[in-house]
Amino acid sequence: MGYTNQRIAYGNTLVELGKENKDIVVLDADLGGSTMGKLFEQAYPERHFEVGIAEANMLSIAAGLAVTGKIPFANSFAVFASGRAFDQIRQTIAIGKLNVKVVGSSAGLSDFGDGATHQSVEDMAIMRAIPNLVVISPADANETVEATKAIAEYHGPVYMRLNRNDYDNVTPEGKPFKIGEPTVLKEGSDEVVFATGYTVGLALEAAKALENEISVKVVNVSTIKPINEARIVELAKDCKGVVTAEEHSVIGGLGSAVAEALYKSGKPIEFVGIKDTFGRSALNYQELLDYYGITSDNIVNAVRKINSL
Amino acid sequence: MPYSKELVEDLKKKAQILRRDAIISIGVGAAGHVGGSCSSAEIVACLYFHKMKHDPKNPKMKDRDRFLLSKGHVAILQYAALAECGYFPVEDLKNTKKIDSYLQGHPDYLKTPGIEAGTGSLGQGLSIGVGMALGVKLDKLDSKVYILCGDGELQEGQIWEAAMAAKIYKLDNLVAIVDANKLQAQGAIQERYDIYPLAEKWKAFGWHVIEIDGHNVEEILAALDEADTVKEQPTVIIAHTIKGKGISFAENQPGYHNRALTEEEYNKALAELS
């Protein structure tokens, strides 16, 4: 325990789960060293399947394993898991509600060096549009441990996106994960920031920076689907307005899900995210996040903008 | 041939019954996959009525053999086989595609008893079969996995991803059957998008290859039995067939891939199949 990287937290948790649950199997498409599927491969080689550089094949094989009662975790980069294998996830896994867990790592901009081809700005939007699929985006490594346990326990198809890089935890260690439940990390009364993944930490920083100015509630939304509309409405009820933050396009991800939940409320909403554009290469993660405006400063600005209305 | 005359005659009759059921499911005036259902009829009959270990009263029987229709568009043929085996009433076949029916246009895992996984987007069934074959091997079950593909479907690249995987995993419990009727929706495969030579391709991918006449019951049974003897290698049966077989006006006609029958055609088809 005590991980500061979502991939490592995920890989080790799978190994732990696999010890008790012999139905868990893991598939990788030549990225096991990065997705951390390699940890499961080292522990239980007979239950790990390397399918080569063939993501579509991997997801259909996972479907076949699921109908024989296995619990397959299929790993790739988020961009390939949600893109190359879209049809396989849709046709057999989602329509059939099969017990397959699709885990996309290096999500968002977190694979900073590899550029637009490897950065998933739209994976949550794509996966969220598929009926029957649960979409999970943990805030940090601590939450990844618990989310991995929760999705293994849940019977049905799940997509989970993970960050590539190390960063500090913002959620407590060992807190059981409940699918569909947003969690309040900081209370506040003027405005609410709904954030997911890496941006949860940024939202907390923004709330702290504003503490003598505007009282900001910070909510970690780690289940993107089902979004729990009633709870989102309740959390926003007494606030003047809402800010959403995500390391993803502002189209179709958390911002859209929150807006759909709140459309009847008439509350002002500001969206912090990637503005309908692809990523690009950078030499480090921070530089790229700054370039696309995924920063606590931008969340502060969005909160102030609503406050000034 | 070691197969009794009674068995062979019975399976031939069963294949005709399946064709008839498929035509009844299609009915008059609504599009249905006539051609590909008729080309696969003997193959499906031999599997469901003789070769496969399965129990209509217990569709999830742990050590059953599994059949998956990768060419999911001929769902009506599989429904006919399932119904004639007793998975559900034969009378329900005529409700296929009706809005509240459990018999969908393509096989539906959740709605229909006996369907092992959803198919319909071509090229994916063989990969699903690889997963099923791996799963039953992990459980040390004596189960075979049969995947019926179309020959046009082999144009999908994922088929060959699955072919590589099955060889690497030495899946001797996996049998692919190619219904080689030589036609795809828009015409002759050789003219539209050439996939030949077929046997050589599968051999190069490391499969045990058997070529047969896909309407000859003895040859189908012998090929299925031969597949049981192959170790540490998957088997493909390339079954040469005639699209629309058994219905004179539909045989070898790409136009009958997915087509609505007139009342006259419907009656003629049923008369020829009786």
Reduced to 3 states, what is the DSSP secondary structure of residue B174?
Answer: strand
Is there a contact between B108 and A52 if contact means CB atoms under 8 Å apart?
no
Beta carbon pairs, A and B, within 8 Å: 105
Interface predicted TM-score of the whole assembly (ipTM), two decimals: 0.97
- Is residue A48 scored above 80 in pLDDT? yes
Task: Give the model's pLDDT for residue A196.
Answer: 98
Q: What's the mean pLDDT in A104-112?
A: 98
| pLDDT of res. B1 | 58
Q: What is the pLDDT of residue A47?
A: 98
Contact (CB, 8 A) for B249 and B268: yes
The confidence score (pLDDT) of residue B127 equals 98
In the predicted model, what is the mean pLDDT of chain A? 98
Pairing mode of beta strands B235-240, B208-213:
parallel
Q: What is the pLDDT of residue B2?
A: 87
Q: Give the helix ranges, DSSP H, for chain A.
A: 6-20, 32-35, 37-43, 55-67, 78-83, 86-88, 123-128, 141-153, 199-209, 229-236, 254-262, 285-291, 296-307
* Chain B residue with minimum CA distance to A97: B110
Q: Is there a contact between B213 and B240 (Cβ–Cβ < 8 Å)?
A: yes
Condensed to tens digits (0 to 9), the pLDDT of residues A49-59 reads: 999 999 999 99
pLDDT in tens, B75-134: 999 999 999 999 999 999 999 999 999 999 999 999 999 999 999 999 999 999 999 999
**Domains in chain A, start-ordered, CATH in brackets?**
6-161 (3.40.50.970), 183-307 (3.40.50.920)
Tokens 């993501």 belong to which residue? A55
> According to the model, what pLDDT value does residue A1 have?
59
- Beta-carbon contacts of A254 under 8 Å, excluding residues fewer than 6 positions away, are A124, A137, A194, A195, A196, A221, A224, A244, A245, A246, A248, A273
Domain B5-273 part of CATH 3.10.20.30: no
- CA–CA separation, B241 and B257 (whole Å): 14
Kindly report the number of other CB atoms within 10 A of residue A16's CB atom.
Answer: 16
Identify from A68, A98, A99 which residue to disrupt to test chain B contact, counting B C-beta atoms within 10 A and taking the largest count.
Answer: A68
Amino acid B246 reads: G
Q: Nearest by CB to B132, which of A46, A47, A68? A: A68
Q: What is the mean pLDDT of residues A195-212?
A: 98
AA letter at B68: L
pLDDT tens, residue by residue, B136-170: 999 999 999 999 999 999 999 999 999 999 999 99
The verdict on a CB contact (< 8 Å) between B127 and A60 is yes
Residue range B231-247: average pLDDT? 98
Q: Which residue of B has its CA nearest to A93?
A: B118
Chain-chain contact of B131 with A61 (C-beta, under 8 angstroms): yes
Tens-place pLDDT, residues B184-228 = 999 999 999 999 999 999 999 999 999 999 999 999 999 999 999
Rounded to 5 degrees, what are φ and ψ at A302? -65, -40
Q: Do A67 and B121 touch (CB under 8 A)?
A: no
* pLDDT band (50, 70, 90) for residue B62: very high
